[in-house]
Chain A
């Protein structure tokens, strides 16, 4: 291997150098803020200002910050985290229930208005969700679902991108022969979905769940529009309100509530952590060879 490398022609060496340069640049550019955030969580406020950007604090400092953040206002942040979990998990489940059959039907059956529905899905998908927040708000108000768990779950379950993902998956990855086979075996169209398509959808479910989770967990604007009671706040909106009301990110003299810059930093990590965790779990399923053996390969 080494011997081979030594005899690389100059242009190949130049190629390698270019690749490494790009990688190093990307790493420095994207990873530095993350590393800083992680390290900053272990420093207290004076240290954030006095020592270098990558200096190490201590577990003690982290503990104090954590304590300040979590116990503030009678563990209010725990309540928000729970709310966030309810909205997100509820939204993910509901969107899976809606998205998978919708994508399946769009991909595998020919029915009137199929094309227009696909186009609508695409339009809905590229519409920024800030645009639909207001109509959703009005809709929820009409049904009396503002400021309720159900309303928030229904609103977050709206996930056209998921329909599109499911459509693409079923149209390209599910061999048409399997559906034909199941029909001949006597499966109804619904059974084709539940007994053949669904068991083969692990990568799709992981992908849709991941993206739906990501979209819902960090969805600030929708929660901001729909929720006005602070006991119903989700984590992002609760923390945002808390951090801004405490003035932690301003340069004014710290207020009397114990929410300062270190607390804001830990709050940010708290919001990121579940997404990272879910990504690690779901990517295993996304890459799994669920469909091998169906056809030739």
Chain B
């Protein structure tokens, strides 16, 4: 039995279709992350799951029950908001206890359950404070505590960490991951941050324009993006893209000034002639070493700039009028700005997308 089942969900605000047909099954205990750029419909999808937004059509089932028209409180869900949404007039204790109070739970039990949630989230010392007396990280903990105390079947998180500073974000990320391990509930987590998505998810659901673009484990999405959107969105720095044309011989010719034919092997281009090639920065090399294979990609260029991150460096290589290629190189590089270089990649590291932006074939890892 899957914990959450979304079938052909559509949602329009006025005439604008924001969710354009979403089908998704989430297993019990799974950690699923919705990732996508701002405005892609992630929050709307989550709010539909929570019951805060009606669907225009489609059905929502949680724990096997159709809850499409159920009130939020009847769905067995808890939600943590980006803005924390704490009740400013209530103490931390009463913020966490509000749901129990509304359900008229006996006071003794309220005490034990709130204390237990506070213990898990290290909030015990702060229970008497008001939200305005807490730091951002502490407020987000309270928001999570408010969710935990209800023992929900499904936790929903809407960008819970994006108001926190970088260091705190990493710390809270681990805490949420730990929480998932400890209580084992199903979690649906929305973020526009692909690092959060990659590190937290059992499965990532990539959203764009109100549609699911790809569903898979983080590494599946990274290694085999099924379209240009996912290829460009997952991975930092971004995948490099190069326009190409299909030659009469069936090989792809990179459409740059040194136009040369590279052999992309047995791929079915499905009638497309204009292709896009994608190569990740770490798959590109400076020089010909290691890519002396027949049909490898080879481009002459000049180093425009170097980014040194310490453990690794990135060279931005210009070639003709095209956008610079980002090449990952050794941190101890002796390369300098203005060096003339050859950039190369092995055929197996080249992703190929057809005219419509779909991956031409599923490469084996």
By a beta-carbon cutoff of 8 Å, the part of chain A in contact with chain B is 175, 177-178, 180-187, 191, 195-196, 199-200, 289-296
B236 at the interface (CB under 8 A from A): no
Interface-located stretch among B73-81, B192-200, B259-267, B280-288: B73-81
Query: Which residues of the partner chain A approach B103 to less than 8 Å between Cβ atoms?
Result: 186
**Within residues 130 to 148 of chain B, which ones have a CB less than 8 A from any CB in chain A?**
130-134, 136, 139, 146
Query: Which residues of the partner chain B approach A293 to less than 8 Å between Cβ atoms?
Result: 86, 88, 130-134, 139
- Inter-chain contact A183/B84, CB cutoff 8 Å: no
CB < 8 Å: which of B73, B83, B134 contacts A184? B73
B98 at the interface (CB under 8 A from A): yes
- Inter-chain contact B79/A186, CB cutoff 8 Å: no
- Return the 7 tightest CB-CB contacts between A and B, nearest first: A293-B132, A177-B85, A293-B131, A186-B73, A181-B85, A295-B83, A185-B99
B89 at the interface (CB under 8 A from A): yes
Mind listing 9 A-B residue pairs with CB under 8 Å? Answer: A175-B83, A175-B85, A180-B52, A183-B52, A184-B50, A184-B52, A186-B72, A295-B84, A296-B136
Query: Given A185-B102, A186-B103, A296 and B84 touching (CB < 8 A)?
Result: yes
By a beta-carbon cutoff of 8 Å, the part of chain B in contact with chain A is 47, 50-52, 71-73, 77-79, 81, 83-89, 98-99, 102-103, 130-134, 136, 139, 146, 150, 163
From A201, which residue of chain B is reached at the shortest CB distance?
B89
- Inter-chain contact B71/A183, CB cutoff 8 Å: yes
Q: Which of A184, A191, A294 has the most CB of B within 10 A?
A: A184
Q: What CA separation (Å) do A182 and B79 show in the bound complex? A: 10
Chain A: minimal CB distance from B265 (Å):
52
Chain B: minimal CB distance from A251 (Å):
59
- Inter-chain contact A200/B83, CB cutoff 8 Å: no
Q: What CA separation (Å) do A186 and B73 show in the bound complex? A: 5
Query: Which residues of the partner chain A approach B71 to less than 8 Å between Cβ atoms?
Result: 183
Query: Which residues of the partner chain B approach A200 to less than 8 Å between Cβ atoms?
Result: 88-89
Q: Which of A177, A290, A291, A292 has the most CB of B within 10 A?
A: A177
Query: Given A184-B78, A191-B102, A292 and B88 touching (CB < 8 A)?
Result: yes
CB < 8 Å: which of A180, A182, A191, A294 contacts B131? A294
Query: Which residues of the partner chain A approach B98 to less than 8 Å between Cβ atoms?
Result: 182, 185, 187, 195
Q: Which of B50, B51, B83 has the most CB of A within 10 A?
A: B83
From A289, which residue of chain B is reached at the shortest CB distance?
B132
Query: Which residues of the partner chain B approach A185 to less than 8 Å between Cβ atoms?
Result: 73, 98-99, 102, 146, 150
From A292, which residue of chain B is reached at the shortest CB distance?
B132
Chain A: minimal CB distance from B278 (Å):
37
Q: What CA separation (Å) do A31 and B24 show in the bound complex? A: 70
Q: A183-B73, A293-B130, A296-B83 are in contact. List 6 more A-B contacts (CB 8 A).
A: A180-B79, A180-B85, A181-B146, A186-B102, A291-B88, A293-B133
Query: Which residues of the partner chain B approach A290 to less than 8 Å between Cβ atoms?
Result: 88-89
CB < 8 Å: which of B50, B52, B87 contacts A294? B87
From A183, which residue of chain B is reached at the shortest CB distance?
B72
Chain B: minimal CB distance from A111 (Å):
13
Q: What CA separation (Å) do A173 and B87 show in the bound complex? A: 13
